[in-house]
Amino acid sequence: MIRIFLFVFLTGIVFCQFACQTESVQTTGIAAEKPVKVRVKPTYAAEDRSYKAHWGDLEFPVVNDPLPGNKAKQFTISKDSLLHNLYQPMSFTKGGKIMDLDVIAVVIYNRVNGQPSMFHFYERTNFTVDTTRYGNTLEHYIKSGAHVSIRGFRENIPINSVAFKVADPEGEYQPPVYFKSLNFIEKEVFGFQLYAAMGRKMLVRLDTTAEHSRSVFEMYRDKPERYEIMHIPGFKTIRRSLKDEEKLWPSDNFTRINLLDKTKSWPKDLQFYPDYYDVRDKVIQLNWGRLKTPALLEETDHNRKWRYGPKWKGWPDKDELYGFLSEARTQPMQLKIDDDSWKPVRFDCWITSETTEDYRFLAEDIRHPAIVEILEKLPRRSSIYIDNLLVENKAGDVRWFPVPFAFHFP
């Protein structure tokens, strides 16, 4: 009996020794070898994983890698500093070593041509601004104030990106983005729209049952390899064609915050919503307390310069205008089209300034506490943009309004 007990006891000890070695691999052979650890993940020192962007003697750490989905922290540099480095080499590094890239692109969001401009550089051993081709244009844009991003590509895939603002605190405040002007007075209405978006087939938006769009429907329906038909009952638009790059900021490095509640189950993509198109001879204005965008019907050369931001004769001076913001924070926005009122039910709200962080809110009400918290601290020399605006009338009809709006505070 004692022998049986000792045998069981010793067997248990041996079993325990093997069971406790869960992270060791048993080796064979006469000579004992050191156990080999398994499931050990490789480790990297922080400096070996760090990404940076370089432009001459300017250096920007890239916060997240790789793109897409990169929310790069924004930096601010002086206009003179960027102009000093404009013709110096650009590069991205990883762990201090230059990355092998096919293209480096410089994207400028500027007030000159009203849309983001992208400049591509292909000299892989020396990514430098071409003085004979792009130099003068870039200088002109930078001197006028801008937001800039540098993006590195390999085989048409974005690898890394960094964004920064160009500051000129001594000069006149220049909003970072202006819009292409839409002529609302004589705007033609179309029964279809070609919507080009990156990474998918051309989208054809139309009412497939409408007689006025039948010929267009028949033209594209038999080409499914190139076109996707989207049926929207009663569809009409003033934008016969639309591209992703025509959006306010088609790709941005803003801190994006989703505040959706009532509409969070609605489709996120705006192409599912019918356009608002009845703009001919209409007075259109976005009201927010005593802040009002100019009536879009009243287009003059002076108004066009500041597009839909309040800076023109007959409006308060910039000190009084900035004071209106305190009152507006407690007021809802309202889109007025002649005598009709449309309620904003979802929109993108960009808040940008020369001295604080930039934000992009996906919101339903400008009075949301998260937005108000930012607006309470918003300094002078800032702008608020409203884009991708869904509005609802008293009958409950929801439309995608085709134009962004802005409020500027010099």
**pLDDT value at position 39?**
44
56 or 164: whose pLDDT is higher? 56
Query: How do residues 182-241 score in pLDDT, each as one tens digit?
Result: 554 457 899 999 998 767 889 999 999 999 999 999 999 989 999 999 999 999 998 888
Residue percentage of the chain with pLDDT more than 90: 35
Sequence-separated contacts (24+) of 324-331 with Cβ below 8 Å = 324/289, 324/290, 324/291, 325/291, 325/375, 325/378, 325/407, 325/409, 327/289, 327/290, 328/288, 328/289, 328/290, 328/291, 329/367, 329/372, 329/375, 329/376, 330/289, 330/367, 331/288, 331/289, 331/367
> Out of 20-29, 39-48, 316-325, which region has the weakest mean confidence (pLDDT)?
20-29
Place of tokens 């007990």: 5
**pLDDT value at position 155?**
86
Residue pair 107/151 in contact (Cβ under 8 Å)? The answer is yes
Whether 243 shows a pLDDT value over 60: the answer reads yes
81 or 64: whose pLDDT is higher? 81
| Structure-token pair, residue 1 | 């009996």
User: What gap in Å lies between CA 262 and CA 392, rounded to an integer?
Assistant: 13
Q: What is the pTM of this model?
A: 0.70
Residue pair 256/358 in contact (Cβ under 8 Å)? The answer is no
- Ordered by where they begin, the domains of the chain are 46-167 (2.60.40), 252-409 (no CATH)
**pLDDT value at position 285?**
85
Q: Strand 359-363 relative to strand 24-25: parallel, antiparallel, unpaired?
A: unpaired
Residue pair 338/215 in contact (Cβ under 8 Å)? The answer is no
Query: How do residues 116-170 score in pLDDT, each as one tens digit?
Result: 788 889 887 789 987 777 888 888 888 776 678 888 998 888 888 888 878 777 7
**pLDDT value at position 113?**
58
